[in-house]
Structure 1
């Protein structure tokens, strides 16, 4: 009888631990946000970190040329100690036009995409016409899955149109537990 009681207590404690673990949130603090765009593609470009905790990203630019094909490369690197080098955690290349027009809702990628474009005027299909494009208060904290470890991050995103690099975005920051 004692063993059944002890096993029940252990199960309850395990459930409490699991519930607490799944409710843990991740926070991001960005230290550096750099955008480089070819002058033939855009001018008046601003990339800034904002928010009280430096967790929000803002981008504004005046697109000078229509983009009918967008190839995107994303590389995410992390490190767990500031003295160690960054190591590639994940990288992917994809057709940006397909992503913005054929997004399957409910996936991790769609959650990240929706977090980025929530407060923007980004077109939802190609071609992307010339003119002012903005992204205000981008926050991906709520879209971060729990399996993402607490670590320092370095994110590089390259955008190509017809095999020519037109935009490079670099982010450096840190993921912590709330």
Structure 2
């Protein structure tokens, strides 16, 4: 039941434009993501030297590198999030697919898409325009921030794909981790210190 409520709340918050009261609530009740395992795979026809790594000691940030070896005329993205059920089997609770070039061109974004763009472009030289030019790109110290306030602590599995429709998958990133509530984490620390 909690997964259904989480899903409905997450989808509703991502699809609505952010409200000032919601932003203030996020600041009071924040979250952080501990990354446990990450795999990045690039299609060598489009990307070379793709790497991503989780940065110790807290495993809350990551770096990503890659080289676009040929101009990419159009690009779509897909994000799928799964949570484990009581038997530890991951069940997909959320999926979204969007035209990256259309989002860039029109400049109108839903909250989730805006969140992805802000997260990936922080500390980055990534060119956010279509067609995507050849070149070497990086994103350093990527961390997940500004999550909706109705989330709960839980393990998760996220899959992020960049693809050219009916042609090829350009890149896949798979991330396993855990979402922590900052307030609960601070209370646990106080209890044991």
User: Quick check: 1:75–1:92 contact (8 Å CA) kept in 2?
Assistant: yes
Q: For residues 47 and 31 of structure 2, what CA distance do their matches in structure 1 show?
A: 34
Q: For residues 114 and 54 of structure 1, what CA distance do their matches in structure 2 show?
A: 20
User: Quick check: 2:25–2:149 contact (8 Å CA) kept in 1?
Assistant: no
Q: For residues 103 and 114 of structure 1, what CA distance do their matches in structure 2 show?
A: 13
Superposed counterparts of 1:66-145, under 5 Å: 66-79=71-84, 83-104=87-108, 107-141=111-145, 143-145=146-148
User: Quick check: 1:100–1:125 contact (8 Å CA) kept in 2?
Assistant: yes
Q: For residues 88 and 131 of structure 2, what CA distance do their matches in structure 1 show?
A: 42
Q: For residues 143 and 60 of structure 2, what CA distance do their matches in structure 1 show?
A: 6
Q: 1:147 aligns with which of 146, 150, 160?
A: 150
Which stretches of structure 1, 4 residues or longer, exceed 4 Å deviation after superposition? 19-22
Q: For residues 177 and 30 of structure 2, what CA distance do their matches in structure 1 show?
A: 16
Q: For residues 106 and 127 of structure 1, what CA distance do their matches in structure 2 show?
A: 22
Q: Please give the per-residue CA displacement for 1:28-47, whole angstroms capped at 9, x wherever unaligned.
A: 10011101111111211111
Q: What residue ranges of structure 1 are gaps of 5+ in the alignment?
A: 1-18
Superposed counterparts of 1:51-62, under 5 Å: 51-62=56-67
Q: What residue ranges of structure 2 are gaps of 5+ in the alignment?
A: 1-23, 183-193
- TM-score, structure 1 normalization: 0.79
User: Quick check: 1:35–1:168 contact (8 Å CA) kept in 2?
Assistant: yes
- The yes-or-no answer on 1:157 pairing with 2:153 is no
Q: For residues 26 and 122 of structure 2, what CA distance do their matches in structure 1 show?
A: 28
Change (3 A) 1:20 1:47: closer
Q: For residues 128 and 21 of structure 1, what CA distance do their matches in structure 2 show?
A: 33
CA RMSD of aligned residues (A): 2.3
Shift of 1:168: 1.0
Q: For residues 31 and 105 of structure 2, what CA distance do their matches in structure 1 show?
A: 29
User: Quick check: 1:75–1:156 contact (8 Å CA) kept in 2?
Assistant: yes
Counterpart secondary structure, 2:73: coil
